[in-house]
Amino acid sequence: MSNKAFMPADYLTKLWRAVIEFDMIQDGDKILIGLSGGKDSMFLTAALAEVKKYAPIDFELACYTVDGMFSPDFPEQELKDFCAQFDIKHYSEKVNVLEAWQNKGNTPCFTCAYFRRAATNRQAVEMGFNKVAWAHHNDDAVETFMLNLFATGQLKTFLPVTYLSRRDLNLIRPLLYYRESEIIEMVSELGLAPLKNPCPYDGNTKRQSMKELIPQLEAEFPDIYNHFAAGMRNSPITELWPQTLSQKENVQKFRDFWKKGPKE
């Protein structure tokens, strides 16, 4: 790998912050990057390759792409060439997402995300990697937070680091401090050429609805994005109701209450 800087140091500030703050990378790690060919995963690949040059620890990188078989023209060579400029190996695998969706029910987006994650995690373990790096940015985290709140009533989003005990695998998200608009600008300035998403549902998802809702809310509440982002953090001033009791626990509480007997 060339020692010449591929990107300005200030492009990496937020990545360094996430890696160090959340203890994402340790000496000797083998990290498999989920590379879709989109702007986010391309930027993550280039950024981690740059970090590897200067980090005081040693770690390995490789990329893995799931071909969802939405198009017969899977750009395998383009992805390999992209990775090669950073001296990173590229692996890929075919997963027929639409066929899996028809057999499983659910939504196509849920099925696609599930099978892509499962295939990547399985491949990582089989090839001896101990971590998978995903290219989720801050907008992704906030949109997931909002989607969970609106759709399920849960205050929940994905974490900077997630440990999968069944596979003994850590998932890391080094781009969590970047806004999507920043990545778009930097990708353009770096001359990266993201591949077109072949997914037939691209731009027509519940997540896209959240993406479009935020600017509408900001028109009336200018700080709402920052407030949602702050709401994803654990806080000592959080005041929420206790966790919902199970039916069995509630029945036992009622029994215990009435066991106290009538007033004398």
Three-state secondary structure call for residue 264: coil
Q: Which two tokens stand for residue 101?
A: 């969706």
Map out the domains of the chain with their CATH numbers.
Answer: 9-231 (3.40.50.620)
The mean pLDDT of 45-50, rounded to a whole number, is: 97
Q: Which of 97, 92, 72, 95 is nearest to 82 (CA)?
A: 92
The mean pLDDT of 90-108, rounded to a whole number, is: 69
Could you tell me which residue, 235 or 168, shows the higher pLDDT?
168
- CA–CA dist 139, 145 (Å, integer): 10
The mean pLDDT of 212-223, rounded to a whole number, is: 95
Q: Is the pLDDT of residue 99 over 70?
A: no
- Is the separation of the CB atoms in 70 and 198 below 8 Å? yes
Q: Look-up: residue for tokens 């893995």?
A: 64
- CA–CA dist 247, 142 (Å, integer): 32
- Is the separation of the CB atoms in 158 and 136 below 8 Å? yes
The overall average pLDDT reported for the chain is 89
pLDDT in tens, 20-46: 999 999 999 999 999 999 999 999 999
| Buried-exposed string 213-234: b where 16+ CB fall within 10 A, e elsewhere | eeeeeeeeeeebbeebbeebee
**Axis crossing angle, helix 108-126 with helix 97-104, rounded to the nearest 10:** 120
pLDDT in tens, 154-165: 999 999 999 999
Q: What confidence score (pLDDT) does residue 238 get?
A: 84
- CA–CA dist 179, 90 (Å, integer): 27
Q: Which two tokens stand for residue 113?
A: 């995300």
pLDDT in tens, 240-255: 889 999 999 999 999 9
Q: What confidence score (pLDDT) does residue 93 get?
A: 83
- Is the separation of the CB atoms in 69 and 92 below 8 Å? no
Q: What confidence score (pLDDT) does residue 208 get?
A: 84
Q: Is the pLDDT of residue 2 over 60?
A: no
The mean pLDDT of 6-24, rounded to a whole number, is: 96
pLDDT band (50, 70, 90) for residue 104: low
Q: Phi and psi dihedrals of 247, rounded to 5?
A: -60, -40
- CA–CA dist 217, 197 (Å, integer): 28
Using only the alpha carbons of the chain, give its radius of gyration: 22
Q: Which of 229, 193, 199 is nearest to 43 (CA)?
A: 193
- Is the separation of the CB atoms in 19 and 59 below 8 Å? no
CA distances from 193 to 21, 65, 79, 87, 243 (A): 30, 16, 11, 18, 47
